Structure formats: structure tokens, C-alpha cells
Amino acid sequence: MEDKSKFGLVSIILLGLNGVIGSGVFLLPGNAYALVGSQSIWVYLFDTLLVSAIALCFAEVGGMFDKTGGAYLYSKEAFGEFVGFEVGIMKWAVGIIAWASMAVGFATALGAFWPAAATGTLKNIIAVTILVVLGIINILGIKIAKYLNNIVTIGKLIPLIFFVAVGIFFIKGGNFTSVKPITSNNFGNAVILVFYAFTGFEALAIAAGDMENPKKNVPIAIIVTIAVASIIYILAQVVSIGTLGASLGKSTAPIADATNVFVGGFGKTFVTLATLVSIGGINIAASFNTPRSGVALAEYGILPKTVSKENRFGSPSVAIIISVLIAIPLVISGSFVQLAVISVVSRFVQYIPTCLSVIVLRKRKDLETSFRVPFGYVLPIVAVLVSIWLLYNTWLQDIGKSLMNNRLLVGLGGLIIGIPLYFLFRNLEKNNSGVKVE
């Protein structure tokens, strides 16, 4: 019997699109162009291939389980509890950091209409209000969050489809002739930068317990999400370059500026509003997905069981409250750019073990999947190697920088913090149970 309180396939796909398509598609085209010029189209294509390889790995292992957990669950099953804990605790931390940055991002984007909203105390009040209100909505139940997510996701896709469908007729071929020398330095930076726009698909598997038939629907939703997002991103970059040309590299709101070229001031206002809807939508997705990372750890005994406790509405209210309380000081003390960059680097802690888990879990006869990555182990291995190269390139760029500006150290520093936490929680569990923990 269908459970109407849970996410069906269409709602899962919309949840994925909402989690992936956010501020990146509206704000990154100009930054990518500034780094590599019109070749930025190939950067989007490269990231599409990389993310597709990683997403296919998530789809295969996601099809093996119908439990909440995502990357934590896959890593734990493949490499043991310690690796699973490190991945899980990082996932929850990254989710909270990313949600905080998105809340600040909404206030920053609102500054286009209301300048005072982008700075100072008012910025903090708006961002904290977003965290608290969305936390309350999720505490009141999945059904409200599901319908709100569906409406906002459709609302953000319409202006993007309009931008591509209309803007493609105003492209000037001469705008694609400007090229810049491609080096490992600027190409790697561009790939990392654009990669941010694709992140978020991995969150789909975290809330599998709140979905209908997750072993079948999660793999389908991941593949559809990446396919749709990739097409929109590449076409948006083509239209942005074709309409703005060299001025794209100086634009801080490229989609809005490009729309202004072929529609006028009304179009720019329309797209700016769409940016707010998009960032607001990804805040909604984050408010739903982020607490589920903590729930997964508690359900498997790594964190106290209280964290996974559900209220009468069927929502993990404790995990939601913890996520909001930790995100609030981050909102007050951190900037959007700083928090966003750290979250990008940190995500590879989930991606690399999940890709490697495909190789390990395929050999287990007790696990069957509804989807299998093609070409044997080629794609998982390629995804891991490219991910390591991106982290290495980031490390090269950060040499000589201070600790707080070192993206790799800050982004992966949670792994070090997680070591004593793991043994602390293990010891507490052993003492509470009175038995030896294997």
C-alpha cells in the first residue's frame, strides 16, 4: 500500500534537483569564464562526466539498501565502523556548514532589492530566521516539507528553462572565439569551482527511510537529477557566453545580466527573483537532508539514540534542533564564500569511499542492487583518481596560506577531530551496554 506521507519517485527527483540546482547556476558562469574563457563550456562538460561517474557509484550502492544513511552506510558496510563514522560525522558537519552558507547566501542575494539585508545584523537576523522557520516546518512533519519542496523546485526550473529557451536565439558566435591558455592551475581551479554547482545529489540516499521503494527509486532519481542539472548548466553557460561575451568574466550575477541583454530590465528582475527562489529552495532541501545525517549515525549506535528519536509527526526533531543550533553561530561568524568552499572540499570524504565501496560491496553475495555501474570497475577507479587529483591541485594552490585560508586543511580537518570522538562514543556505548563492542 502506498504511504502518502513518504516521497514518491517524482518527489524524490524534485528533491534531488532542488538539492543540486541552487546558487551555483546563477552565480558561477562569470567566475568560470574569468578563469578559462569560453573553454569554460568544456569545464562544465568535464565536471558532468566526473559527477556522473561518482553519481553512478552512489546509484549502485544506493540500490543495495533501503535504510537511511547514504555515504555513511556504504562506507561502514564496505570498510568498517571507523571509516563509516568518519564519513558520517563529516557528512553531518558539511551539511550543517553548507546549510549555514545557503542561509547567508539568501540574505546576500536579497541585497539586490534590499541592500541592508546583505550585511551586518540584518543579514544575520534573516539567515537565522530561515534556519529556525525551516527547522520548525520539518519538525511538523515530512508531508509539509515534501509539498513545499515540490513547489519551490518547479518554481526555480521555470525561469532557467525560459532563460535557455529564449536566450539561445540571441547568441553571437563571435563571443566564443576568445580563448585563454589552459594550464593545470586554472583548469583545476575552474573544475573545483564549477563542481560546487553539482554537489548535493549524494543527499538523496541519506533519507532513504522516508522514501517509497528506495532501492529502486533512489538510483533512478540520482541519474535523472544529474542528467537534467548537467543539461541546464551547459546550456546556461553557452547562452551566458553567447550573449555577454567578454563582459561575462566581470559579472557577479551573470544569468540576470544576460537576461537583461535579450529581455530588458523586467527580465533581469525576474531572474533575480528566481535566484532568491532557487537559494530558498536549496535551503528547504538542506533543512530536510542535513538532520538525517545525524539520524543515520544514531540509528547505527555511533551517536546517542536520542538523536534519531522521532516526534509524533514522524520527524527526527532532536537531530533537526541540533542542526539548527550548530548552524546559527556559523551563520553569524562565517561568510558565504568561505563556508561554501570548505563544504566542496569536504564532500570528497564521501565521494571517494563511496566509489571504492562499489568494488568491495559487489563481491558480497548477500547484497543485490537495482542498478549496476557499466564498464566494470573503470568508472569507480577513474572517479577516485580524478577526485584525488582535484584535492592535490587544491593543496598546491593553498601552500603558504594561513590556516583559516587553507581550503584543504579546514575542509578535511574534521577527519582529525572525528578520531577522538569515535573512540569516545565507542567507549560510552561499551560502558552503557556493559558488553564488549566488537
- DSSP code of residue 7: B
**Contact indicator for 263, 166 with CB cutoff of 8 Å:** yes
If pLDDT is split at 50, 70 and 90, which confidence band does 148 have? low
Interval 1-10 mean pLDDT:
62
Nearest to 296 by CA among 135, 32, 92: 92
Q: What DSSP letter does each residue of 227-261 carry, written as one string?
A: HHHHHHHHHHHHHHHHHHGGGGGG-SSHHHHHHHH
pLDDT of amino acid 323: 92
pLDDT of amino acid 236: 92
> Around Cβ 139, how many Cβ atoms within 10 Å?
19
Domains of the chain in start order, with CATH, are 9-433 (1.20.1740.10)
Q: How far apart are CA 237 and CA 232, in angstroms?
A: 9
pLDDT tens for 277-303 read 778 877 877 888 788 878 877 877 777
All three cell numbers of 375: 564498464
pLDDT of amino acid 65: 79
Strand-pairing partners, residue 179, are 37
pLDDT tens for 328-362 read 988 887 666 666 667 777 888 889 999 999 999 99
Return the top range by mean pLDDT from 4-8, 162-166, 355-359, 405-409.
355-359
Torsion sign (Cα): 64, 70, 76, 78 = positive
Q: Which residues contact 354 (CB under 8 A, 6 or more apart)?
A: 54, 57, 58, 61, 71, 74, 75, 202
- DSSP element (H, E) containing 121: helix 120-139
**Contact indicator for 2, 212 with CB cutoff of 8 Å:** yes
